[in-house]
Chains A and B, each alone.
Chain A
Amino acid sequence: MHETDMTKALIATLQDWWKAQSEPKISCVHLVVGKFTCVEPLSLQFAFEVQSQNTFLEGTKLSIRETPLIAFCHHCQQEYHPEIGIQYACPQCHSPMEDIRSGRELKIDRVEYSTNTIEDTYAPNF
C-alpha cells in the first residue's frame, strides 16, 4: 500500500526535475532500491504503471535495481550479509549491525530522456 505513496513521492520529485529541464520526454527512470527498505519492487512497478497514466510519465519505463543488505563489522574488519528477518548481528563475533554499507538506498539513479529539436517541432507531417 505504501508503494502508492512512494510512487507519488517519486512522481513529485521527477516532476521538479522535468520542469527544470524544460519538459523533455522521459523514456526510462532507473531506480536503486535497497533490500533494507520498506519498498517492494514489484508493488512499486505496478503502482508506477497505474499512477503515471495521464501524466508526463505516461509510457515511461521504470527499471529497478535491487541492492543487497551488506554491513561492515568493525570488530572483524570485514563485510557480512545479514539475513533479513533472521539475524542482523555479525555471524562471527555477534557484534550488532551498526555500519550498513548497502541496502538502505532509495534512489533515482538515472533518467533517460529525449528532446525534440526545433526542426522536429516545425517539420511538416507527411
Chain B
Amino acid sequence: MHQTFDAALGINLLHANQQGAEHNRAHFDQWGIICLNVMSSPGAGKTVLLERTLAALTNEFKIAVIEGDMTTELDANRLRQYNVPVIAINTGRSCHLDSKMVAGGIHCLAHEYNPSDFDLLLVENVGNLVCPAEFEVGEHAKVALLSVTEGEDKPLKYPVMFQEADCLLITKTDLAPYLEIDISQIEANVRQMNPHVTIIQVSAKTNDGLENWFNWLRNAVQSNTAKSVMSLT
C-alpha cells in the first residue's frame, strides 16, 4: 500500500544559506561588527581597494578581512602587510562565498582574537558578477564594484548584483580618458533598477574619490556603533 501526498513547502531554495547568514549576522551584532560584502567581476579592483582602505583606516577602526577571491593566492598576503587579520577561505571551485564558508572564517577570527574588538569586517567575494549577490553571507550591506573598462551595459546585463547593491564603486576612473566610456551612462543604467544606491567614482591609482568611499565607510561604522550603544541603554 502506497499513500501519496502533496506538501506545500514554500521554502526559499536558499533557505539553508539564509539561516547560515542569520547565524553570522547574529555574531556580528553581538560583537558590534559591521560586515560588508564586496563583490565584482574578476579584476575590477577589489583587492587594491581593500589595500587602500586598510592603509587609510586601520588607525581609525579595527578591521578584519575575509578573502574569498583566491584567483591570485597573493591577495591575502598583499592585505596582511597592513597588519590586520586576513582569513583566506579556500572556495575551491565555487563561484561565490556562501554563509557556511564565512561562518568558518568568523569562528576562526573569534578563536584567535577577541571579536568584540573589531569594528569592520570586509569580505572580498569571489570575482563573479552573477551569483554572489544571491548568496548572502550575513553582511549588513553589499558593495559592488564596476570598473570603467567593463562597459556601460554591464549593469543591464547582470542586473541582480547592481539591483541589490547598497553602494556602487565605479573603479579605475583614471582609465576613462583612454576609453570610449560614458560614466554617466553607467550611473543611469544602475539607477534604472536601483534608484537609492550610493554611487562613488574612485581611482586607486590617483586616489581620486577614495575619500568619499572612506566617508561612506565611516558613516556605516558610526551608525552601527550608535545602534549598539542605543541597544545597551
Contacts and interface: CB of A to CB of B under 8 A. Distances in A.
A9 B13 contact: yes
Interface in B120-161: 128, 130-131, 133-135, 156-157, 159-160
B2 A13 contact: no
Contacts of B42: none
B130 A38 contact: yes
Contacts of A106: 12-14, 134
B11 A12 contact: no
B193 interface: yes
Looking at chain A's contact residues, is the secondary structure mostly helix, strand, loop, or mixed? mixed
B103 to A, nearest CB: 14
B156 to A, nearest CB: 6
Interface in B176-206: 191-195
Nearest to A121: B1
Interface residues on A, range: 35 or more
Given A5-B94, A113-B4, A117-B3, A96 B13 contact: no
Interface residues of B, number: 38
A114 B3 contact: yes
Interface in A43-89: 82, 84-89
Interface of A: 1-2, 5-6, 9-10, 12-13, 16-17, 21, 24, 27, 31, 33, 36-39, 82, 84-89, 96-98, 106-117, 119-120
16 contacts: A2-B96, A2-B131, A2-B134, A6-B13, A6-B131, A9-B16, A21-B7, A36-B163, A37-B160, A86-B156, A96-B195, A107-B12, A109-B10, A110-B7, A112-B6, A120-B2
